[in-house]
């Protein structure tokens, strides 16, 4: 069986990209991946993606950070054990500031870790199936077809208002998403 051709439809317009994603459902060509330089609810809806659970990582990070900040402040205060201005050693009112700052910091950590884990990043395979313009102003829709359908697929993308890039490089690992 001849090797499949990988093809990237590049769209500068979000609505056209959404139309192309929806239009691909009418054909048997597999939709491997969509690269977008911006978060797009329209694309997420068109792809039927569920809400990302990354918010739970952020919330978890924030809660851990809040208590870490408090505990760190308490621990260091107890280590020095100095009474300042007649205030208690473990004074929860000012420690709230440390707790708050750690909440923000750890929530950001949680968010970044969540994003990396859920996106399974960093990823070093399939880099040849990427176009740097997808980090600029283009939305890229990666699909594949048998060589005899190449022209038909290219025409589909062109009709939807996109450009087409065909990948000639043989692909060893097809990490489809």
Partner 1 sequence: MKHPFQIRIMNKKIVRNIFILLIAIGLGAFFLALLGPDPARAWQAFLLNFLIWSGVAQGAFLFSTVMHTTGARWSYKVSGLAESFAAFFPISFILFLLLVIGRDHIFPWLHYDLHGKEVWLNLPFLFTRDALALLILYGLGLAYLYHTLWFKLGSLPPRGKIQALLARSWGRTMKDERKSRRRTSVFSILYMTAFALVLSLLGYDLVMSMDSHWYSTLFGAYTFVKAFYIGLGGIIILAALLHMAPNSGVKLLPAEFIDTGKLFFAFCLVWADFFYVQFVVIWYGNIPEVTSYIIQRTMTPPWQTLAWIVFISGFIAPFLILLNRNIKARPTAMLVVCTGVFIGIWLEHLLLLGPAYHPDAAALPLRLSDGLISLGFLGLMMFAVTSFLSTFPDITRNKPGEVQ
Q: Give residues in contact with partner 1 (CB under 8 A).
A: 59, 85-87, 93-94, 96-97
CB of residue 13 to partner 1, shortest distance in Å: 17
Indicate the residue among 1 and 93 with the shorter CB distance to partner 1: 93
Q: Where are the alpha helices (DSSP H) in the chain?
A: 14-24, 41-47, 54-80, 92-119, 150-159
Minimum gap (Å) between residue 61 Cβ and partner 1: 14
Smaller CB separation from partner 1, 51 or 120: 51
Least Cβ distance, residue 96 to partner 1 (angstroms): 7
How far is Cα of residue 39 from the mean position of the Cα atoms in its chain? 8
In whole angstroms, the minimum distance from the beta carbon of 31 to partner 1 comes to 28
Q: Is the CB of 30 or the CB of 53 nearer to partner 1?
A: 53
Distance CA 69, CA 65 (A): 6
Residue 140: partners with Cβ closer than 8 Å, 6 or more residues away: 8, 9, 10, 11, 33, 34, 35, 36, 130, 131, 133, 134
Residue number, 94 or 147, with CB nearest to partner 1: 94
């Amino acid at each position: 069986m001849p090797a499949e051709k990988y093809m990237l439809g590049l769209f500068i317009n979000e609505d056209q990209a959404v139309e192309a994603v929806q239009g691909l459902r009418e054909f048997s060509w597999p939709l491997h991946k969509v690269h977008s330089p911006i978060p797009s609810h329209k694309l997420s809806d068109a792809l039927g993606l569920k809400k990302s659970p990354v918010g739970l990582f952020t919330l978890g990070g924030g809660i851990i950070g809040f208590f870490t900040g408090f505990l760190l402040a308490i621990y260091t205060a107890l280590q020095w054990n100095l009474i300042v201005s007649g205030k208690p050693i473990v004074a929860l009112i000012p420690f709230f500031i440390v707790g708050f700052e750690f909440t923000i910091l750890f929530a950001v950590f949680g968010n970044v870790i969540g994003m990396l884990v859920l996106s399974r990043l960093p990823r070093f395979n399939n880099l040849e199936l990427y176009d740097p313009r997808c980090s600029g102003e283009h939305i890229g829709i990666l699909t594949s077809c048998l060589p005899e359908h190449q022209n038909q697929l290219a025409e589909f993308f062109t009709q939807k208002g996109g450009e087409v890039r065909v990948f000639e490089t043989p692909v060893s690992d097809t990490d489809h998403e």
